[in-house]
Amino acid sequence: MTNSGSPNERPRIDKWLWCARFYKSRALASDAVAGGRVHLNGERVKPAHSVRAGDQIEITRASESWTIRVLAIPARRGSASAAARCYEEAADSIARRDAGRAQRRLMGGAPPRPPAKPDKRSRRALLRLLRQQ
DSSP symbols for 47-89: TT-B--TT-EEEEEETTEEEEEEE--B-SS---HHHHHTTEEE
Q: Would you kindly state where each structural domain of the chain is located, as residue ranges? A: 7-110
pLDDT the model gives residue 109 = 67
> What pTM did the predictor assign?
0.73
Give 10-residue mean pLDDT values along the chain (133 residues). Answer: 56 94 95 96 95 95 92 92 95 93 81 86 92 82
> Given 2.40.50.140, 3.30.70.100, 3.90.870.10, 3.10.290.10, which CATH number is that of 7-110?
3.10.290.10
Distance CA 117, CA 9 (A): 52
pLDDT the model gives residue 4 = 46
